[in-house]
Structure 1
């Protein structure tokens, strides 16, 4: 069993309703982590979820805090949320360099998984911005400098290129359709285990004594529709296999 920290995979939506000359605003809080949490817990892993709005204040700040986990998953949470703790952004006081700490933790034997989304990799309007951080060198892929999202409204199926790699958890057969992903380039020396639309979907590699992996599509809607994340038994195999390989 591994202890897994998932950071991100939640959001707040605010809507403005306009009715004639009057308007009002409503807000909702949505958690997208549940398919991934259930999949990992079904394989015996302990999952700690740090919602996106708590990441700036609560993400582990040093190696000692990160040592509580075997694998850290970053899913749809941009680099700013890790870098800009309240004391840094609001009070202009020096704080922990949490991305540098994460890089060091992986180099010392930790496991890092980045999952795709509008605020993963380079992301929507390049706002995820991991290419500008030292975490870029840890990932088994190279990131684009521009908005890297590829929308696939008609859907596309993964092409599995490394079916026997343990990080895929023994999944077999066709994968359900996916509706988009973040475009990345394979890094020399890394292993691309599956592609989507000809680009890396699953890739794994090493950094120092640790391991890193990417899944460049989503773990929940909208890029991962219900047949993929709720109905397919391969979902738990893929994400379970990734976490177990990362944990060594």
Structure 2
């Protein structure tokens, strides 16, 4: 047990990207490159609650994401957000040098089976993702997550906003937060597995789903923790910190 009271040891992977832009001005053009992170508000609310957070950015996964059961067991819950499966499955030693390397998603699956917590949060490179590139349905996490994933691009864009219906308002994963959520702007379409619990949905599609795997717990949150699917109304919502804190605490409960 690594948590202290209500404090958790949290591993967050993803939510960063690099933009390479071509600027065209008549005959001439030039390039710029920018690095951005999207998890700022999420990480800040975890730190403010006293949780110990290890943040592994997308480009750091090959070098910093745990590669052994012992390293993973230091954490109470793992959060994967908007980073495709290839970043875990193609470490430098394998992709560049054809050397064997631990299957990091297989290690995560085993970790949950031993009592760890897993939360996957939606985005363009979560679940199946844009153009089918996230590909988690073809990884060991397909058995762990409480949802089945589509075999094709699963994004649902709702530029006019979507309403979330909390259908299990008394579920402990919500921590007593209000059932009226601010609108969101999109999500990954997933399908709840038998035995899972759909806590919130939009229309007929699940938004927040809980499940168990082995001795551990897994959560699927089909929308985002940051723009663009999570607009300022959601990220700045007064209950945003409590909602995420409760989601992570529920996922980690088997271990804590």
TM superposition score category, shorter chain reference: over 0.9
Instruction: Show the 5 A alignment for 1:136-175.
Output: 136-175=142-181
State the SS of the aligned residue for 1:175. Answer: coil
State the SS of the aligned residue for 2:83. Answer: coil
Picking from 192, 197, 207, the partner of 2:213 is 207
Shift of 1:115: 0.2
Picking from 73, 79, 101, the partner of 2:107 is 101
Q: Which runs of 4+ in 1 moved over 4 A?
A: none
Picking from 21, 39, 45, the partner of 1:39 is 45
For structure 1, the 5+ residue unaligned runs are none
1:235 maps to 240
Instruction: Show the 5 A alignment for 1:1-248.
Output: 1-230=7-236, 232-248=237-253
How many corresponding residue pairs? Answer: 247
1:90-135 deviations in whole A, cap 9, x for unaligned? 1001111111111001000000000000000000000000000111
State the SS of the aligned residue for 1:92. Answer: coil
Q: CA RMSD in A?
A: 0.9
State the SS of the aligned residue for 2:124. Answer: coil
Shift of 1:67: 1.0
For structure 2, the 5+ residue unaligned runs are 1-6
Distance 2:84 2:104 in 1: 13
User: Normalising by the residue count of structure 1, what TM-score does the alignment of the two structures yield?
Assistant: 0.97
CA contact (8 A) 1:62 1:102 kept: no
User: Normalising by the residue count of structure 2, what TM-score does the alignment of the two structures yield?
Assistant: 0.94
